[in-house]
Structures are given as C-alpha cells and as structure tokens.
Structure 1
Amino acid sequence: MCCLLRRLLFLLLLPIWVLCFSFFSVSGDESSVVFVSTSHEIPISQASPRMGAQSPGPPIVKVVLREDLNKKILIALIVSSTLLCFTVMFLVYLLLWRYRNLKNSFNGIKRKSDSVKSVSTKPIVHKIDSVRKGTIPVYEYQLLESGTNKFSESNLLSRGGRGCLYRACLDEKSSVTVKKLDGGGETDIEKQFENEVDWLGKIRHQNIISLLGFCVYRQTRCIVYEMMQNGSLESQLHGPRQGSGLTWQLRMKIAVDIARGLEYLHEHCHPPVVHRDLKSSNILLDSDFNAKISDFGFATVLMTQNKNLGNRAPEYLLDGKVTDKNDVYSFGVILLELLLGKKSVEKPSSEPESIVTWAVPKLSDRANLPNILDPAIKGTMDLKHLYQVAAVAVLCVQPEPSYRPLITDVLHSLIPLLPVDLGGSLRIL
C-alpha cells in the first residue's frame, strides 16, 4: 500500500516538476532583457556636453529584470505542488482509515475484549463461520439492550443455571427471546456459548429451539431465540404460579414434545447428539405451551461402545463415555417434576434431597400415588394414565443405564395418553 502511494505521488508531481524546471531553464537564459530605442546613434563623448542644455532626447533605454519574478513563480509552484502532495496523501490515508473502521464494524464479533481477562472471540468466529458461514445473524448489543429495556426485571421470563431469559421487542412486529449468559469472558462460558451457537446453527426441529442470532459485547454473551412467551418449564412449575397454569393434558403434551426433540437428536441426527444438560430450566414454552429444548452448551456427539450393536438396543457404559441414556435419565427427572410439582433437588434445612431418591419408593404404591401428586392436577386424570406415566418415569431413572428404555420407546408409550388435538393419538369421546 505504501509503495502504491509513493508511485501515485511520483506520477502526480512529475508533470509539475518538469514544467517548473523547464520554466526555470528558459528564464535563466533570459534573466535580463534590454530594449534600446534611439533615432540616432550618438557617441557618449559628444552627447555629454549637450545633456545639460537639452531636454531628454529620443534615446530611451529600458531594462526589465525578470529573474526575481521567475524565482517567485517557481517557489510558488513547488510550494503548491508540495501542498497538493500532502493533501492527496491525507485523503488517501483518510479513506483507508475509514475503510478499515467500516470493515471492523461489520465484522460481527469484536476481536478483543476490553478486559484483561477477556478471551479472544476468534475461535468463535472461526468455528461458527466454518459451519454455517454467513447464515447466523449477529445482533448489536445496543439493539438487545433497548429491546429488553436494559434487561429489566419487567422483561424477565425466567432464571436459569447460567443466565436469564428476557423478552425483547426489537420493533413493533418483531419479538424475540434473549438469553444473557453469566460470567462472560470465562473460558467455560465461552466454550458453552460457542458450542450452543454451533449446534443450533445446524439443528432444525419443531421441538428444538430456533436460533435467530447471537451477540458478543465486551464481557456479555447473548443468544437470541425465537419468542417463547411462557418462559421455561421451571418457571411455570416452581415460579409464582406453582404449576397452576399447567393442566394434566398440557403436562403430557410437554412431555411428548421433549421426547420428540430427544428422539430427533438420538435417532435422526448424523452422528447422533446427546444434550447432556436436560432439565426443566432448559425447556422453553411458547404461547401455546409447545415445548422446545434449549441450551446446547454441553451437547456432544454420541459415543457408543460397540457400533455393531445398532441404534435400537445398544448397551452403554457411564465410565467417562457419553451415552443417550444420560438424556433418558434427565427426561425421567423432568417427568417426575411434572407429576409431583417438586424441584429436581429440594433444599430443606438439612441435606438437599433428590426428587428421584424421594419419589421412586413412593411411586410403587399405587394406592398412595394420587396423594403425592402436584395439588394443581390432583383428580384431573385417568388413574390408568397416571400409573403408566409413573411407570415410565421410574424406568427412565434406573441407576443401571441398560435398564433404561430408549427415548423412542418412551415416546411411543406417552403418545397414546395425549389427545389428538394436542399431538397424541388419544381420542376422547
């Protein structure tokens, strides 16, 4: 670029300097010009006595010196050409500076964080671009901040383990859900953020949350989802309403939706995907209570022990290897939450107690089962359906992974309990 500028400058000044030196050489030869106009040629000796008696006669001598004038013109030309040179250089550098700034502003992700502890976003950009280059929009932080009223409590949908969900109105016709991650800049959060954007950029399913874009601003990391008006399942079950808005049928619909999403990840993705962090706070609900799985920060490819066993009935081990049975166990915990209205881990005054430890011994007692249900759904379902759902939940949370069913089998067990109008096969007469 510097060489190009020097060549441009040389070509621009060359004609001016040639003109100046040509002019100077000509003016040097004619530094003084003498014009003599006389009627008669009179010697000086004869003319002297007559000078005093006569008025100035015809002889007129005029001498015009142009050397000083030529020098001034030359200096003016050199100064003007030099000024022109600096002006052109300044304009070229200004254009380059503006081009670089515009390029950086549209780059999407800032290359460096303002904090010393920040982590470079180059790996994020590289990995995202390598998967779905140009298809994942990058949102300006100011737009998300304005749409959420500076992430105010009035726009809060739910709180999760690693961040909060906010309702954002980007304009009169566009509303989105924004997940603002906690601990931006930390290595673990960066990896989870990158992993989720990567996976959601590739996965498309009606029960998997749709990714609309993301935002990286200083220490803040945001992921933009489709609008989910009813927040998370956790906020519906354990928030201020305490599950009162979730009927038995809606709870079964949510369970079937989750199972469908998991079946897609386990059976229809190539290679199969394991979510690894399935919980009620990561299940989001839209205005019609359609459930969608979110938060793919820990998702990874399924690792089987023996590829020859097939996808339908393999045995998986938990010894450091990822299995689809992890997701089945987590689904069983969510099913228990839907039935009992309790959190996955209760924290009384003493030691925390898992819902699995508390519920499994009680679920085997059919006579007592209706008494331990969530009060919001007591007496609102067919007892046969209740027993079947409880049996599915117990199977899913078995300590031995090989005893747990495949998610496809779980789905086929639950669909007959859901009315047709909600996506099941149950016909209510």
Structure 2
Amino acid sequence: MMPKLMFLSFYFICSLNTLILAQPDFFSKYCDPDFNYTTNSSFQINLNRALARLPASNSGYGFLSSSSGQNPDTANTIALCRGDTDLVSCLTCVNNSIVKLREICPNQRVSSGYYDNCLLSYSNDIILGKNNINDFVEEYMDINATNVAGLLEDVLKLLGNVTTQAASGGQLKYASGTMGRANGTAIYGLAQCTPDLTNEQCRDCLRDAVARLDGCCRIKMGVRILSPKCNIRYEDHLFYDDVNVNISPPSQAQSPFVIPARSNTSVTRIVTSIVMTTAAFVMIVVSICIFIMLRRRKLLEESIESKIVDTSTVEFSEYDLGTVRRATDDFSEENKIGHGGFGPVYKGELQDGRLVAVKRLSRDSGQGEPQFKNEVMLVAKLHHRNLVGLLGFCLEECERVLIYEYMPNSSLDKILFDPDKRSLLDWDTRFNIIEGVARGLLYLHEDSRVRIIHRDLKASNILLDAKMNAKITDFGMARLFNPDETQGNTRRVVGTYGYMAPEYIMHGQFSVKLDVFSFGVVLLELITGQQNQSFQNQDNVYFLSYAWKNWRDGTLSNIIDPILLKGSSSLNDIIRSIHIALLCVQKNVTDRPTISAVVLMLNSFSLTLQVPSEPAFFIPYSGDHVGALEDTSKGSGSQDNSVNTASFSDMTPR
C-alpha cells in the first residue's frame, strides 16, 4: 500500500509542476502600470481569494465572476469563454489564465489576459454591469489583405450583423457569421459581450470596438479588438465552430471536468485523454484538499452567493477578519454591547470612522449557523428606513460575523423596561416607534421584493437610532413566504414565548398574522411599560388577559404607564392604540387585521374600530426561545432555547 501511495504522491507533484510550467502564452495582455499593489497587501489577499473562487462560479454561458474584500482593496474578477467553447475547454482555459496572468502582471491591480477561446480580467474597481472599459487591445496580422478593395465595407457590414445579433441574443450575447465577397472569397466574424451587460451596454461596447477598425486595421485580414467586457474578430478562414455549445455550470454532484473516454483506435485520442485525465486529476486532488480544509466555509459561501443575486447596487461587502478584529479591539469585553441566541454583539469602529455593530456567531451555538445563513440571505435583499442595514459579513477561519449599522440607543427593551431610562420615552416618541415598527412590517409583508415573516418580533429586536427611530433587526428566524400563499405550516416552531400566536405554537401554522400578533404584544408593552414575560398581578392574570379585562371594564388607567399620564394631552390616542393592540392579539387568526390595516388605523383617527374579542391566553413559561417540536430529546445548545412543551386552555377574564 505504501509504495502505491508514494507513487501517487510523486505522480501528483510531477503532474502539478508540469501543469504550472506548461501555461501557454497569451496572444494579448494588458497590465495597467498606474495601479500597483505591494506584496502581502490586503488587495493581494483579496485577489488570491477571488481568483481561487472564480473557476467554481460559472453561472452559465461561459461567464464567471468573483469578488472579495472591501474598498479600497476590493478585488473583482471576471472570465469569459468564447461562445462556441465547450465546458472542459472553458474551465481549462480559465485555470491557465489565472496562473499566467499572475505571472506576467505580478503587481498590477488592473490586468487582462486573452487566450484564443477565453479572457480573464481583474480590477479593484467595479466590473459587473459596467462597460466603460477603455483598455481596448488591437491585434492584427502584419500581412495586408491581398484584395483590399471594399474590404472595410464588407467587414463593417458583417460585424454590424453579428454585433446586432449579439446585443439582442439574450443571455449568451454571442454571435458569429460569414459573408461572401465579390472576388469569390469569404470573411468570417464574431462578436461577444459579457452577459452582465444590458443589451444597450453590449451594443455600445461593440460599436466602440468596431469604430477602432478604421484607425488601425482597414487593410488587415485577421483582426481582433478586445476588452474585458466585449470583443470582435474577423478572419479570412473559419475559426469558430458552426454549432454553438451551451455552456452550463457543472452539477454540484459531479466533477467540473468531463474526462474524454479512451479510444483504442486513435493515438491522438489516447494522448488527448492522458493529458485531460492528468489535468483533471490534478485539479480534483487540489479541489479535494481545499474542500477538506474549508468545507464548512465553502458550503456557507455557496449558499449565501446562490441566494444574494440582486445586491449589486447595494453597499454590501465581505470584510476580512483582521479588519473586524481591529474594529472591535479583538472582540474585547469593553466593546460588548449585547448577547442573543446568535451570539455576542460588539461595538466597532472601521478605519473610515464608521461605527458598526458586529454580531459574532458563538462557536457552541447549535442554531447559530442556519440563522447566520438565513440572516445574510434575507437582510441583504431588504432596504427600508425601519430595518437595520446589513453592511457586510466575514467568513474567515472559524468565524461567522455579520456587520450592521450601529444604533447608538441600543434596543427598545434596554430603555422601555429600565425604570430610570423609561422617562426618555414620552408618548410622541413611543408613537413614532410604533409607527416605525408597523411600517417596517408592512415593507416585509407587502412591499419588499420577497415576502417575509419575521417570526421573532419583540422589544429586544427593535433597535433605536440617535433620533429614537425604530429599526427591526435579527432575521435569523425569518421565513420567506410565497406571495400567493395565505398561510404555511412547519414542524419547527421557533420564536419567543409570549410573542407567538397560539395557532403557530400549537399547530405550526404561520402567516403574516403571526407578526401582527407579536406587534400587538410590543404595542401593549410600549403603552404599559411592562414586559409581558415578567408581568404579574395579584390575581396572576396573564399580561394580555389583564389588558383586555381593563379595556372591557373601562379601567385602562390601571395599565397605562404612569409616565404617560403625567400631563398627557394624548390620552385618547393612547386608548385608541390599546384598542388596536387588542385587535392584533385576538385568539382567532382571521379576526386579526393585516399590518396594512394597522398602519391605516394608526394614521386615520376617524376610522371606526371593531370591538376586539378576547386575546389568546398562555400559561406563563420561564424559558425564552422555542425549539423544534419534532425533537424533544436534543438540547438546542443555548440557554435561551427550549423545547416547546407549553399547554393551552380556554380561559375567561375574571
């Protein structure tokens, strides 16, 4: 066994050295001398990371893209294979390009390399969605055409046809064609853009490329005008395949290389098979080694990147761990500002002076990693003034970190339930918070690109900015909801006791009315100044039951925070808000209003409100979060989590 392993190791090393040393030369390249980076700089680290991810990022149509880091050291990379190139040749060409371009442009931030059937480009500037690339490269044969009469006109006509087809050709943005000439010869041409460009951007880029022919190559036969975002080419011979090959990303269950089958009837095929097998073997072994080392991180990144497909217009970055450690003074206790089921939260300051809140996944948190993926995938798509903005994340070593905008007034519960700080919240401030939370939920339920149920709305998940504006946070338990659905079911009930609707806890039924129920509880907490989980009166009546009983009996002064009663001229508004809250926490889900109706009630005082029925009643429970219903034998890994064993009974207020 040992001799075989030694031979295999020797064969792998020799094959790897051969592969690295045998990179063919680019037929053209561009290394910008004005933008350099130093060895071991942040940009080089980000570039290495982005290039390492690039071969696995094929999104289809032979287009690959990857980025890493944050400005000013962001590294953005793209690769584009010619439209008639098969998958094996495409990936081989891209891997060759990565090695070769780093060799010939060792310290340039902006570089491009061109092979016959693929190109590679990287830059510290944004590449995706932009066509203002001025580094066109002109390549042509030194020998002039034998019959130049009308050549430029024929070329312009041919390229005009293929550029029009490429610009309107859907996702591929590639076209090729041929044109017969008057002298009996023919010319062949192609045009291609990167698929991230719009049709108009592609057309403009190709027109700029064609316009360069008149200045450089009007009598040349065999010309290429190249840029990282588009290219054109014409020759006097057929240089492309007549049948385009649709390049699709490899299945995750298969190797990204398809090894040609051996043939005993052709020496050429045998040699080709050996070469391809060797290359594939090397790449597979290297991939396996990387996979073993970074398995958890790679799976997490792939999951995040597959979901966040429309955040190109948002400032959303991956931060390196060194930056996060410097910002938080290496996660010092002095900078710790909170702790939840996800893990600790730290105050941090970035190099540009921005204050941020850094959520760090606890390594012993059993539920932390799914919550982390869920939060990144959802919050990156959400942009509203009443939702906390996600600035980026960090995935390095064993760390899982989310970076949020910093809220100087912390969470609502830290002020509302503090006897000394509660006085800061007068009625106008509290009503502004109520409206902000309602508008945030309205965006999640009806106005965002994806319909979302938060499932864990509570005072500690409502943050306050410098002007006491409310911002909803913590989407680790949020759930995507199909727009045409009215309700869904789950066997895994998650959330916080006291804020969850009864149909959700008992039957796993969830809908937008679940968040409405939680909103009603928070609204009552804001008015009473009491936390529903710790509320007790002399009759041991539950918080919601006590509020409803006093509303029914006309004794609401018993539950209103005394601070709000001191010289308040808004008593009618307060009583109306209690009425709205009781409508939200009704036991029957169909009786509860939608959040859009709640927003209307809060802003239209002339609107007549229905009489609320009795709320849902709960037996008090000392735990906080709810775990999985189907698993009562396993702990959740967090003291805040517990198995849902609560029981329910119908009760009538005394």
Task: Bin the TM-score by the shorter chain.
Answer: 0.5 to 0.7
The match for 1:139 is: 319
Contact 1:176 1:226 in 2 (8 A): yes
The match for 1:365 is: 553
Whether 1:300 and 2:300 are equivalent positions in the alignment is no
**Which TM-score applies when normalising by structure 1?**
0.64
- Partner deviation per Cα, 1:229-252 (whole Å, 9 max, x = no partner): 111111121247442221111110
Stretches of structure 1 lacking an aligned partner (at least 5 in a row): 11-98, 309-315, 418-429
Contact 1:158 1:235 in 2 (8 A): no
- With over 3 angstroms needed to count, the CA separation of the structure-2 counterparts of 1:407 and 1:141, relative to structure 1, is same
- Partner deviation per Cα, 1:136-157 (whole Å, 9 max, x = no partner): 4122333333323344454344
Tell me, in whole angstroms, the C-alpha distance in 1 between the residues paired with 2:604 and 2:450: 29
Which amino acid in structure 1 is aligned with residue 563 of structure 2? A
- With over 3 angstroms needed to count, the CA separation of the structure-2 counterparts of 1:123 and 1:365, relative to structure 1, is farther
- Partner deviation per Cα, 1:13-44 (whole Å, 9 max, x = no partner): xxxxxxxxxxxxxxxxxxxxxxxxxxxxxxxx
The match for 1:173 is: 353
Tell me, in whole angstroms, the C-alpha distance in 1 between the residues paired with 2:343 and 2:365: 14
- With over 3 angstroms needed to count, the CA separation of the structure-2 counterparts of 1:370 and 1:271, relative to structure 1, is same
Whether 1:376 and 2:555 are equivalent positions in the alignment is no
The match for 2:509 is: 321
Contact 2:513 2:592 in 1 (8 A): yes
Whether 1:229 and 2:229 are equivalent positions in the alignment is no
- With over 3 angstroms needed to count, the CA separation of the structure-2 counterparts of 1:241 and 1:330, relative to structure 1, is same
Stretches of structure 2 lacking an aligned partner (at least 5 in a row): 1-12, 23-43, 54-67, 70-289, 488-501, 606-654
* 2:430 partner SS: helix
Tell me, in whole angstroms, the C-alpha distance in 1 between the residues paired with 2:342 and 2:393: 16
- With over 3 angstroms needed to count, the CA separation of the structure-2 counterparts of 1:132 and 1:101, relative to structure 1, is closer
Q: CA deviation at 1:394?
A: 0.6
Tell me, in whole angstroms, the C-alpha distance in 2 between the residues paired with 1:351 and 1:147: 50
Tell me, in whole angstroms, the C-alpha distance in 2 between the residues paired with 1:360 and 1:112: 58
Whether 1:211 and 2:390 are equivalent positions in the alignment is yes
- RCO (CA 8 Å, sep 6+): is it higher in 1 or 2? 1
Whether 1:251 and 2:427 are equivalent positions in the alignment is no
Whether 1:388 and 2:576 are equivalent positions in the alignment is yes
- With over 3 angstroms needed to count, the CA separation of the structure-2 counterparts of 1:395 and 1:141, relative to structure 1, is same
Which amino acid in structure 1 is aligned with residue 602 of structure 2? L
* 1:389 partner SS: helix
Contact 2:451 2:483 in 1 (8 A): no
Contact 1:158 1:232 in 2 (8 A): no
* 1:121 partner SS: helix
Q: CA deviation at 1:382?
A: 1.7
Tell me, in whole angstroms, the C-alpha distance in 1 between the residues paired with 2:427 and 2:561: 10
- With over 3 angstroms needed to count, the CA separation of the structure-2 counterparts of 1:239 and 1:160, relative to structure 1, is farther
Tell me, in whole angstroms, the C-alpha distance in 2 between the residues paired with 1:247 and 1:162: 32
* 1:206 partner SS: coil
Which amino acid in structure 2 is aligned with residue 388 of structure 1? R
Contact 2:436 2:469 in 1 (8 A): yes
- With over 3 angstroms needed to count, the CA separation of the structure-2 counterparts of 1:349 and 1:342, relative to structure 1, is closer
- Partner deviation per Cα, 1:111-143 (whole Å, 9 max, x = no partner): 8899xxx98133320122123368541223333
RMSD (Å) for aligned C-alpha atoms: 3.8
Contact 1:360 1:394 in 2 (8 A): yes
Which amino acid in structure 1 is aligned with residue 369 of structure 2? E
Superposed, which structure 2 residues align to 1:14-33 within 5 Å?
none
The match for 1:409 is: 597
The match for 2:630 is: none
**Which TM-score applies when normalising by structure 2?**
0.43
Q: Which has the larger radius of gyration?
A: 1
* 2:509 partner SS: coil
- Partner deviation per Cα, 1:68-87 (whole Å, 9 max, x = no partner): xxxxxxxxxxxxxxxxxxxx
Tell me, in whole angstroms, the C-alpha distance in 1 between the residues paired with 2:300 and 2:533: 34
Contact 2:343 2:365 in 1 (8 A): no
Aligned partner of 2:373 among 194, 199, 205? 194
Tell me, in whole angstroms, the C-alpha distance in 1 between the residues paired with 2:369 and 2:548: 37
Q: CA deviation at 1:396?
A: 0.6
- Partner deviation per Cα, 1:84-125 (whole Å, 9 max, x = no partner): xxxxxxxxxxxxxxx99973598769x8899xxx98133320
Q: CA deviation at 1:357?
A: 3.5
Whether 1:103 and 2:22 are equivalent positions in the alignment is no
- With over 3 angstroms needed to count, the CA separation of the structure-2 counterparts of 1:361 and 1:347, relative to structure 1, is closer
Contact 2:308 2:380 in 1 (8 A): yes
Tell me, in whole angstroms, the C-alpha distance in 1 between the residues paired with 2:350 and 2:404: 13
Whether 1:127 and 2:72 are equivalent positions in the alignment is no
Tell me, in whole angstroms, the C-alpha distance in 2 between the residues paired with 1:159 and 1:323: 28
Contact 2:342 2:371 in 1 (8 A): no
Tell me, in whole angstroms, the C-alpha distance in 2 between the residues paired with 1:8 and 1:166: 44
Q: CA deviation at 1:342?
A: 1.1
The match for 1:278 is: 457
Whether 1:341 and 2:529 are equivalent positions in the alignment is yes
- Partner deviation per Cα, 1:296-322 (whole Å, 9 max, x = no partner): 1111123689669xxxxxxx9754332
Tell me, in whole angstroms, the C-alpha distance in 1 between the residues paired with 2:450 and 2:382: 12
Whether 1:149 and 2:149 are equivalent positions in the alignment is no
Task: Decide which structure has greater helix share.
Answer: 1
* 1:346 partner SS: coil
Contact 1:211 1:226 in 2 (8 A): yes
* 1:326 partner SS: helix
* 2:402 partner SS: strand
- Partner deviation per Cα, 1:154-183 (whole Å, 9 max, x = no partner): 4344444443433211135311122234x3
- Partner deviation per Cα, 1:34-64 (whole Å, 9 max, x = no partner): xxxxxxxxxxxxxxxxxxxxxxxxxxxxxxx
The match for 1:24 is: none
Aligned partner of 1:330 among 511, 518, 528? 518
Contact 1:180 1:220 in 2 (8 A): yes
Contact 1:337 1:344 in 2 (8 A): yes
- With over 3 angstroms needed to count, the CA separation of the structure-2 counterparts of 1:244 and 1:389, relative to structure 1, is same
Contact 2:341 2:365 in 1 (8 A): no
Deviates more, 1:370-379 or 1:384-393: 370-379
